[in-house]
Structure 1
Amino acid sequence: MQRTPLPAGVVAWTQDAAQHTLWLATDHRLTEYDARGRTMTSFALPDAPTAMAYDASSGQIWMAFANHQVARYTPSGQQTLQTPRPTMASGPMAADGAGGLWIAGRTHVVHLDAEGYVRVRTAVMPETDASATSTSTASIQALAVDPIAHGAWVKTPTR
């Protein structure tokens, strides 16, 4: 096992398992590290990131930003897509394995296709279960993708 100090202020991370690299997002910066902790790539981001997901099917990184935008980047830093982040979708993200992206909100999940268009927007729990207070734990807790069907699994609170 190797210890590598991480930069301060990491807000999101994802990995490229095939390349054995780790992507870390800090305030306005995205950096790729190899298995030995060496910086492979680093580039500035246009706004503060809030979430990210690696898309193994395209080798690109999906980013959500504080300015309510979602963008996709190549590993060299070229932006290949930018679109408004759908309403009700401000939580965890997961690439669908087919170029698209699932984004969870407090009560809804949204699917963007590879071109950034909303293809699915569905409530997975009643709005009344997720109170308006930001400290509520009654909201979607986790999101994972079905690698075969490219659908999403969602973890909601148990009663």
Structure 2
Amino acid sequence: MDAKNSENKENNEFNNPEFDIIEVKIPAGLPQSVIGRLLSNYEVQHEVKKDEITQQEYPVLFGFKKNVEEAMANVVLYTEMRFALRDIARLSKFHKIPVKLYSKDENVQHILSVAIQDCLKADIEIINTELDQESEIIKVLDNEIYVYI
């Protein structure tokens, strides 16, 4: 066991806490597509573990501390953005109107550009600059999204 621990310490980039591997429970019922996006965007791994006492299974994310913390910080925002985009896409398809979305926050802008890939056949475009036309503002977890029609 000591040989394994010393090997892990050597692989830990000289004991830098940034490279510690941690494991965090994720909310039950999180859609697999959201978990898949987290795996691809934040370089974390997913596993279903079983509690030995209660015999219940629970999902966990594990990976480098920095990556797991970043993924967990954005999991709720990403999920809520997907729900908002789903509703915007439905309205866009129903009324056959193209929609442009903009956010001042770069993190939200990135999450929108990733989440838009899950909206099939929607005429939605993510733009990088604010337009000088009338817009609606949608708030998603205290983040503003400008919707231009």
TM-score, normalising length from structure 2?
Answer: 0.27
- Greater RCO (CA < 8 Å, at least 6 residues apart): 2
Structure number with larger C-alpha Rg: 2
TM-score, normalising length from structure 1?
Answer: 0.25
Higher strand share: 1
Higher helix share: 2
